[in-house]
Each structure stands twice: as C-alpha cells, then as structure tokens.
C-alpha cells in the first residue's frame, strides 16, 4: 500500500471508537499497519477492524487496559510481534468525569488519573523504550483544550490533560532528535464522550460558543494526528496542535 505512512506501524490506544477510531482509519488509509487497543468496547473494536480490512488496510485489535502496567507493555509487545516494529504511538484512550469538587472522591481521582495520566505515561514509556532501541519514532499524546483553561466541575479531567501537555514537553526534550513527541488539544468533538444527544441545549450552546460555532468531527482531529505522524512534521517536537474551532488560541 502507498501513502505517507507506508511501511510504518502505529499503535492507537482506545482506538475502538471516536477520535481513536478515526485516527486508526486515517493512518491505515495512508499505508500504516495499525494496532488499536480496547478495554471494554470489543464489539466496536471488531467493527473498526472490519472497516479497515474492507478498505484494504492492515489492522489488529489488542485487548489492553491502559491503566494496567502489564497490559501497557503487552500492547507494545503485541504490536511489534504482529507487524515487526512500532514507529508511531497515539496515546488516545481517556475518560472524563463531571463532578463538583466537593463531591469528588479519592476513588474518582485515582480512577481518572490511572487511565488518562498513568495510562499515557505507561504506554508512552513502553513505546519509547522500543523506539529508543529501534532508533526513532513519533509519540502523539491526545490532551484537550480544557488542559489549557480548566472548567468548573471537570477539575480532575482538566488537570490530567494539563499534566499530559507537560509530559509531552519533557519527553520531547529527553528523546530529541530521534523520537518526536507532540500533543493534540482537541476542542469539543462529536463522540460518545461529548454525548451531544444527551446534552442540555444550554450546555450545547456553551460548547458552540466558539469562533467556528460548532463542535468538531473526529476526522478533524485525525487530520492533525496524520500530520504529526507524517513526513511534514519532521522538525516538530514538544508542540501542540489545536483542532478546536478557535475555542482557545494559546
């Protein structure tokens, strides 16, 4: 298969649906062999596999909980075993929590951080361990525009995304010039996480109160990931791309 990622192998955590699935499809369409991990959404992962195979792409689904150190190492090993290497990691898996601070328990905090922050840390560390030996690679961490500006009732989520932005910069400095590490901070994107169907009209109006006056689509985040994974981003590290409709202009 030809394309800007021909001959490359990518691992996308939480690639069974939403933004991760769109990234997996975009990478496969550009010639990459792609492994997606899933934890709970096995049926959706199978559907992503079927779509990519039908389009002529190479894809594997790996069951792995990003909150488990063992699973994080397994997902990297499995990708390398199946496709012979790992060139690109997208740390995409994530969860959100909407709760007033005074009702937020330590179990809530630990649950969210174990997936969003420890998950990014562990899969990132294992992928970089492989890339450092292999001579190079790309890491793309999915953060959020909320990681810049915070939001009432979402403090733990926002803090996890702000921390991911800093991991990105530190890893970029530690592993330049061979491993390039960048982040993406999407604005509101139409996925199950945003749950537009069940959103109150008031809250939806708030989400759309941005210069482009609409929420984004997963493919619009995938386009940013494709750029960061491809040859055009060869001089970019420690940076953030912001497909956010203008929600924040950092």
Ligand X SMILES: NC(=O)c1ccc[n+]([C@@H]2O[C@H](COP(=O)([O-])OP(=O)(O)OC[C@H]3O[C@@H](n4cnc5c(N)ncnc54)[C@H](O)[C@@H]3O)[C@@H](O)[C@H]2O)c1
**Catalytic residue positions?**
157
Query: Which of 27, 29, 31 has the alpha carbon at shortest distance from 89?
Result: 27
| 154 secondary structure, DSSP code | -
Q: Where are the beta strands (DSSP E) in 47-147?
A: 58-63, 88-91, 137-142
Closer to ligand X by Cβ: residue 19 or 88: 19
Window of 126-134, 168-176, 181-189, 229-237 that interacts with ligand X by CB under 6 A: 181-189
How many residues belong to the site for ligand X (CB under 6 A)? 29
CB 220 within 8 A of CB 123: no
Closest CB 180 distance from ligand X, rounded Å = 20
In this structure, what are the phi and psi dihedrals at residue 194, rounded to the nearest 5 degrees?
A: -75, -35
Closest CB 135 distance from ligand X, rounded Å = 28
74/79 Cα distance (integer angstroms): 8
- Helix pair angle (106-134, 155-175), 10° resolution: 20
Closest CB 146 distance from ligand X, rounded Å = 7
Window of 12-20, 25-33, 123-131, 224-232 that interacts with ligand X by CB under 6 A: 12-20
Closer to ligand X by Cβ: residue 57 or 188: 188
141 forms part of the interface with ligand X (CB under 6 A): no
Region 59-88 residues binding ligand X, contact defined as CB under 6 A: 65-67
For residues 37 to 56, the per-residue mask of contacts with ligand X, x marking binding by CB under 6 A and - elsewhere, is xxxxx---------------
Q: Is the peptide bond before 16 cis (omega within 30 degrees of 0)?
A: no
123 forms part of the interface with ligand X (CB under 6 A): no
| CA triple 169-175-177, angle to 5 deg | 105
Contacts of 90 (CB under 8 A, 6+ apart): 10, 11, 12, 13, 15, 20, 23, 140, 142, 225, 229
Work out which of 23, 73, 112, 115 binds ligand X, going by CB under 6 A.
115
Window of 34-42, 47-55, 122-130, 229-237 that interacts with ligand X by CB under 6 A: 34-42
Closer to ligand X by Cβ: residue 9 or 37: 37
By CB under 6 A, name the binding residues for ligand X: 13-14, 16-20, 37-41, 65-67, 92-95, 115, 142, 144, 186, 188-189, 191-194
């Amino acid at each position: 298969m030809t394309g800007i990622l021909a001959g490359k192998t990518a691992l996308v955590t939480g690639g069974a649906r939403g933004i991760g699935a769109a990234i997996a499809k975009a990478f496969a369409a550009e010639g990459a062999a792609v492994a997606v991990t899933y934890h709970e959404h096995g049926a959706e992962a199978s559907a992503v596999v079927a779509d990519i195979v039908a389009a002529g792409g190479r894809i594997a689904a790996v069951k792995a909980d990003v909150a488990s150190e063992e699973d994080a190492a397994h997902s990297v090993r499995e990708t390398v075993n199946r496709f012979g290497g790992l060139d690109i990691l997208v740390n995409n898996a994530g969860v959100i929590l909407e709760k007033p601070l005074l009702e937020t328990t330590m179990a809530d905090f630990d649950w969210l951080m174990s997936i969003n922050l420890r998950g990014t840390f562990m899969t990132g560390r294992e992928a970089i361990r492989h890339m450092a030996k292999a001579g190079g690679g790309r890491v793309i961490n999915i953060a959020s525009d909320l990681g810049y500006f915070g939001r009432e009732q979402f403090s733990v989520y926002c803090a996890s995304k702000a921390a991911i932005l800093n991991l990105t910069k530190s890893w970029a400095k530690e592993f330049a010039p061979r491993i390039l590490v960048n982040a993406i901070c999407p604005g509101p994107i139409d996925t199950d996480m945003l749950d537009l169907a069940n959103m109150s009209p008031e809250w939806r109006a708030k989400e759309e109160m941005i210069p482009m006056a609409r929420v984004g689509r997963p493919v619009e985040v995938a386009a940013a990931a494709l750029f960061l994974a491809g040859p055009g981003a060869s001089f970019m590290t420690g940076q953030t791309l912001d497909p956010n409709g203008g929600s924040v202009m950092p």
